[in-house]
């Protein structure tokens, strides 16, 4: 095992990522940030310097458990102080599992701003994947907005009369490239847009997937959208799904694949079609009331030029309200033999009802009536040093009123802002039922991809309506897939199980940034007394803080 050193300078620069010049938050002048590649057992040592003149930041390593290094999880207000402009924070942690991961900023709307990149962990030399492939391609999907992050943030967090929903993304990006105002598929799909013409060296020229005939490619896919739920399809080619969030699954074949923000997959693609033509790669969204054009690029067999457009139309993204298709897809995932099995019983069950509510004239999301608002002091240090005034130490609610009607807008709501923590015994087995309900307006609901930090969980079941006693019999305890992000469907529930075996403080939240920003998350903690070696920089900032810490405490 090696120690791999990276130096990340986070900064703003101008770039035409979708053919329109805007500010982007990037790393070392690159957008998306550099791809990190390591082997299982390696230690990553990443010095992140914040050169954004206007923002504090942190970087989260999405899918890495941070076992023993909870302070390196990169969640502002939870595991560390945000890195001030001009300061450097050293993340140092072990990657303990192979898979397709990514990293992103974890403060305010900085994913929306473009601060992300891929993180791939390979098996140690000599070990083999349970499937064969000749080569691989990495695809990172995101959505892109022309309105500044600051304007979006203020629009979401102001009083209701000033509330401005972000509405729709201007573009969908494939590896940081999109096309606004033109479409490669304009002749087929949208007569109001011109066809794009590229020389190939433009910032917004599509990322071409170039392949050789009669090979098998592992395509690693991850979505780090701010908001959109996406669907990928490739003309004339099937995909075999083999990995989800860093775990192998029983392979299954699909024509298209849904991917929500925070998820990652590997699919195998065999290049067995006519090599004398190019094929569409389409990434469309599945959101209601959004007209963002599908992102298109080409699969090119390296025989004809990559600029030749296919003569047939690109795949059509399934409609947003195709609930059944989305659920059927989610339910096809079964763990590959050899994946850890869940404990037969849990010691604790938390049912979390997500509600969109008005609190003191602010539009917020709440979970069991609590809308998460971070305390100014990060939880990890507060809990470790038992600072009783740093946040509300009461236990948050484990359930919601049983007569609550999930099919109507929240009528009366006693939701409040809060910052309580669900505290687990170390090694406790915890079930969480995520309950979806009607949003603030009648007949409106949303899909929410929930992501857990510090743990992977078993996805035990997806169920319809309201979760009720007895629904445990729907749980798959035999071969449930393990994931770190899972979708909750409209008027439905999703059940997960995990072992609280990682001392630290961990976020569990909707990965849609505009939802999380206004409270759609909860905080979990276990065994914080066993956490040692929290760096001073995570607890406080600047040299004066270090000086005071040196004088006062022996950490
Ligand atoms: Cu990828 Cu808390 O997020
Ligand atoms: Cu959400």
- The rounded Å distance from CA 487 to ligand 1 centre is 14
- The rounded Å distance from CA 374 to ligand 2 centre is 17
Backbone phi, psi, residue 217, to 5°: -110, 140
Residues with CB under 6 A from ligand 1: 60, 62, 104, 106, 262, 451, 453, 507, 509, 511
Position in ligand 1 atom list of the atom nearest CA 261? 1
Residue whose tokens read 């439905």:
492
Spell out the per-residue pLDDT of the chain, length 555, in tens: 999 999 999 999 999 999 999 999 999 999 999 999 999 999 999 999 999 999 999 999 999 999 999 999 999 999 999 999 999 999 999 999 999 999 999 999 999 999 999 999 999 999 999 999 999 999 999 999 999 999 999 999 999 999 999 989 999 999 999 999 999 999 998 678 999 999 989 999 999 999 999 999 999 999 999 999 999 999 999 999 999 999 999 999 999 999 999 999 999 999 999 999 999 999 999 999 899 999 999 999 999 999 999 999 999 999 999 999 999 999 999 999 999 999 999 999 999 999 999 999 999 999 999 999 999 999 999 999 999 999 999 999 999 999 999 999 997 778 999 999 999 999 999 999 999 999 998 888 899 999 999 999 999 999 999 999 999 999 999 999 999 999 999 999 999 999 999 999 999 999 999 999 999 999 999 999 999 999 998 988 777 777 877 776 555
- The rounded Å distance from CA 100 to ligand 1 centre is 15
- The rounded Å distance from CA 359 to ligand 2 centre is 17
For the record, the structure tokens of 257 come out as 């694949």
The ligand minimizing its distance to the Cα of 59 is: 1
- The rounded Å distance from CA 445 to ligand 2 centre is 10
Rounded to whole angstroms, how far apart are CA atoms 329 and 206?
A: 28
Give the residue among 512, 26, 24, 487 at the shortest CA–CA distance from 226. Answer: 512
Q: Where are the beta strands (DSSP E) in 255-322?
A: 256-259, 264-270, 279-285, 295-300
Strands 256-259 and 247-254, how do they pair? unpaired
pLDDT value of position 453: 98
Within 10 Å of residue 324's Cβ, how many Cβ atoms? 9
The ligand minimizing its distance to the Cα of 287 is: 2
User: What distances in angstroms separate CA 526 from CA 61, 97, 328, 360, one per listed residue?
Assistant: 20, 22, 35, 32
Position in ligand 1 atom list of the atom nearest CA 516? 2
**β-bridge partners, 9:** 49
- Is the pTM above the cut of 0.80? yes
pLDDT value of position 553: 55
- The rounded Å distance from CA 131 to ligand 2 centre is 34
Give the residue among 175, 181, 180, 177 at the shortest CA–CA distance from 202. Answer: 177
Give the residue among 263, 220, 224 at the shortest CA–CA distance from 239. Answer: 220
pLDDT value of position 552: 64
Position in ligand 1 atom list of the atom nearest CA 111? 1
Rounded to whole angstroms, how far apart are CA atoms 318 and 134?
A: 30
The ligand minimizing its distance to the Cα of 264 is: 1
**β-bridge partners, 352:** 434
For the record, the structure tokens of 280 come out as 């569409």
Position in ligand 1 atom list of the atom nearest CA 62? 1
3-128: CATH number? 2.60.40.420
- The rounded Å distance from CA 214 to ligand 1 centre is 37
- The rounded Å distance from CA 449 to ligand 2 centre is 6
Q: Which residues contact 192 (CB under 8 A, 6 or more apart)?
A: none
Position in ligand 1 atom list of the atom nearest CA 262? 1
Nearest-CA residue for ligand 1 atom 1 is: 62
CATH class belonging to 136-331: mainly beta
The secondary structure of 485-530 as a DSSP string is EEEE-TTEEEEEEEE--S-EEEEEEES-HHHHTTT-EEEEEE-GGG
Position in ligand 1 atom list of the atom nearest CA 509? 2
Residue 470: DSSP 8-state: T
Position in ligand 1 atom list of the atom nearest CA 521? 2
- The rounded Å distance from CA 262 to ligand 1 centre is 7
The ligand minimizing its distance to the Cα of 222 is: 1
Within the chain, all domains assigned CATH 2.60.40.420 are found at 3-128, 136-331, 348-530
Q: What is the ipTM of this complex?
A: 0.98
Rounded to whole angstroms, how far apart are CA atoms 110 and 115?
A: 6
The ligand minimizing its distance to the Cα of 66 is: 1
The architecture in CATH of the region 348-530 reads: Sandwich (2.60)
pLDDT value of position 416: 97
């Amino acid at each position: 095992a090696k120690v791999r050193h990276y130096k990340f300078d986070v900064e703003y620069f101008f770039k035409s990522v979708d053919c329109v010049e805007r500010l982007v938050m990037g790393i070392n002048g690159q957008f998306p940030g550099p791809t990190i590649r390591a082997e299982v057992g390696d230690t990553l040592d990443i010095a992140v310097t914040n050169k954004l003149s206007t923002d504090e930041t942190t970087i989260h390593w999405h899918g890495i458990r941070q076992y023993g290094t909870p302070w390196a999880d990169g969640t502002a207000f939870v595991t560390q102080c945000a890195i001030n402009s001009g300061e450097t924070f050293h993340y140092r942690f072990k990657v303990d599992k192979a898979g397709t991961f990514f990293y992103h900023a974890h403060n305010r709307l900085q994913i929306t701003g473009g601060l992300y990149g891929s993180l791939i962990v390979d098996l140690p030399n000599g070990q083999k994947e349970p499937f064969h492939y000749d080569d691989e391609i990495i695809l990172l999907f995101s959505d892109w907005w022309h309105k500044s992050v600051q304007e979006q943030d203020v629009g979401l967090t102001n009083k209701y009369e000033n509330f401005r929903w972000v509405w729709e993304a201007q573009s969908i990006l494939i590896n940081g490239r999109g096309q606004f105002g033109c479409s490669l598929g304009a002749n087929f799909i949208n007569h109001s847009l011109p066809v794009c013409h590229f020389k190939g060296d433009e910032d917004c020229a599509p990322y071409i997937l170039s392949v050789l005939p009669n090979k098998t490619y592992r395509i690693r896919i991850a979505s780090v959208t701010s908001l959109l739920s996406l669907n990928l399809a490739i003309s004339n080619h099937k995909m075999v799904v083999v990995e989800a969030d860093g775990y192998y699954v029983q392979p299954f074949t699909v024509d298209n694949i849904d991917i929500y923000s925070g998820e990652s997959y590997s699919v195998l693609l065999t290049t067995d079609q006519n090599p004398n033509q190019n094929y569409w790669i389409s990434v469309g969204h599945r959101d209601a009331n959004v007209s963002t054009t599908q992102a298109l690029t080409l699969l090119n067999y390296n025989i004809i030029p990559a600029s030749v457009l296919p003569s047939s139309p690109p795949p059509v993204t399934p409609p947003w309200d195709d609930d059944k298709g989305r659920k059927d897809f989610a339910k096809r995932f079964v763990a590959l033999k050899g994946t850890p099995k869940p404990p037969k019983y849990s010691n604790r069950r938390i049912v979390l009802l997500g509600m969109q509510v008005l609190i003191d004239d602010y539009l917020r999301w709440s979970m069991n009536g609590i809308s998460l608002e971070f305390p100014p002091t990060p939880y990890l240090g507060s809990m470790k040093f038992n600072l009783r005034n740093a946040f509300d130490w009461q236990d948050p609610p484990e359930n919601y009123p049983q007569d609550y009607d999930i099919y109507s807008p929240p009528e009366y709501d006693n939701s409040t802002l809060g910052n309580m923590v669900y505290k687990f015994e170390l090694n406790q087995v915890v079930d969480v039922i995520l309950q979806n309900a009607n949003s603030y307006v009648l007949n409106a609901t949303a899909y929410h991809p929930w992501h857990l930090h510090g743990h992977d969980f078993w996805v035990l079941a997806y169920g319809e309506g309201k979760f009720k006693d007895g629904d445990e019999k729907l749980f798959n305890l035999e071969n449930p897939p393990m994931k770190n992000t899972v979708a909750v469907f409209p008027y439905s529930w999703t059940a997960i199980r995990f072992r609280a075996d990682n001392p630290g403080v961990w976020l569990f939240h909707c990965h849609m940034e505009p939802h999380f920003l206004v409270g759609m998350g909860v905080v979990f903690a276990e065994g914080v007394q066993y956490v040692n070696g929290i760096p001073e920089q995570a607890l406080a900032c600047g040299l004066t803080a270090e000086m005071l810490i040196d004088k006062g405490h022996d950490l």
